[in-house]
Structure 1
Amino acid sequence: MPEPRIRPARPADDDALRELDVATWSTLHAVQPRPLPPYQPFFDERHTPGGYLVAEGRGGDGDGDGRIAGYIRLEVPTPLACNQHVRQIQGLVVAGWARGQGLGRALLRAAADEARRQGAVRITLRVLGHNTPARKLYESEGYAVEGVLPGEFFLAGRYVDDVLMGRSLTR
């Protein structure tokens, strides 16, 4: 199977990314309420195309060539000068039709490469404690649990931990 094409997001990706977010919404990873029509634009002044890498891929049935199959958002976690050496993953989504093809792993690696290119020496993320598939993926890519905020969110009738993970980009 060919490698996915990962590229910077463009303003023209707005509709496809919004549709992907709506289609993949789940309390397994989302703390925001389920999006309902009328849908807001995907990009806004806080979420600009410059913070995203998108993957174009192919579904297991051969469908989806050139379609956006996933994205990852990479940002500076705070505006503080003393924190500019860190990048934070603030979202990773893969379309249902593109799962199981290594796309999440490819996006994580592309984000780490982009963070290094930007001069970062460390990368972090937050993941919900009950999202076992994502946690296993992050651990397999060298991320370690660095903290847990027990019961930080109340989702689908239960309290869920917020797990803080990170890794060095220099090793």
Structure 2
Amino acid sequence: MTAMPVPHIRPATLVDEEALARLDRATWSPLHSVQPRPQPPYEPFFTERSGPDQIIVAEVAGAVVGYLRLAFATPLECNAHVRQIRGLAVADRARGAGVGRALLRAGRDEARRQGARRITLRVLGHNTPARKLYESEGYVVEGILPEEFLIEGEYVDDVFMGRSV
């Protein structure tokens, strides 16, 4: 097995819509999603509330292999210093190659560039691989909502994590 090249990290553009939508559908899992599995007709990836300006893309050899969605945590002015990761996906073929880590670091750099002081995220309690990745990048658990979601017959915690940028 050959090692995957280092991903190129860049801002998303409208041209990425279909590749991001396909990636989002391909990586759907009850390990990280509280929404049902997407079914046709599919919703667009970019919406009025979440456009390409909130997405950081990872690509290898011109193919999109991951993305991170970074947004304001809330619309409140008193909370404008906080950014929230509202999605992170990595193609199966790119897992374990540092793509998620590169996206997290790019997200932190972008949050800092935007003047943020903190960056937060939510992760399902049973998503051990993601939690380990976040912890290795300096995120700490700041709160837990026990049994917040019922996913495939199991109650799952909603874990809030954060760090300074």
Fold-level similarity (TM above 0.5): yes
What is the aligned counterpart of 2:106 among 101, 110, 123?
110
- Detail structure 1 runs of 4+ shifted over 2 Å in the superposition: none
In structure 2, what is the equivalent of residue 8 of structure 1?
11
Q: Does 1:42 align with 2:45?
A: yes
In structure 1, what is the equivalent of residue 57 of structure 2?
54
In structure 2, what is the equivalent of residue 82 of structure 1?
78
> 2:50, 2:76 → 1: CA distance?
19
> 1:100, 1:71 → 2: CA distance?
15
> 1:100, 1:158 → 2: CA distance?
27
What is the aligned counterpart of 2:35 among 32, 35, 41?
32
Q: Gaps spanning 5+ residues in structure 2: where?
A: none
Residues 31-40 or 109-118, more deviating: 31-40
In structure 2, what is the equivalent of residue 148 of structure 1?
144
Aligned residue pairs total: 162
In structure 2, what is the equivalent of residue 22 of structure 1?
25
Identity of aligned residues (%): 69
> 1:32, 1:122 → 2: CA distance?
27
Deviations 1:116-166 (A, max 9, x none): 000001100000000000000000000000000001111011110000000
> 2:132, 2:141 → 1: CA distance?
11
| RMSD (Å) for aligned C-alpha atoms | 0.8
3-state SS of 1:38 partner = coil
The amino acid that maps onto 2:105 is R
In structure 2, what is the equivalent of residue 139 of structure 1?
135
> 1:46, 1:79 → 2: CA distance?
11
> 2:43, 2:138 → 1: CA distance?
35
Q: Gaps spanning 5+ residues in structure 1: where?
A: 58-64
Q: CA deviation at 1:3?
A: 2.1
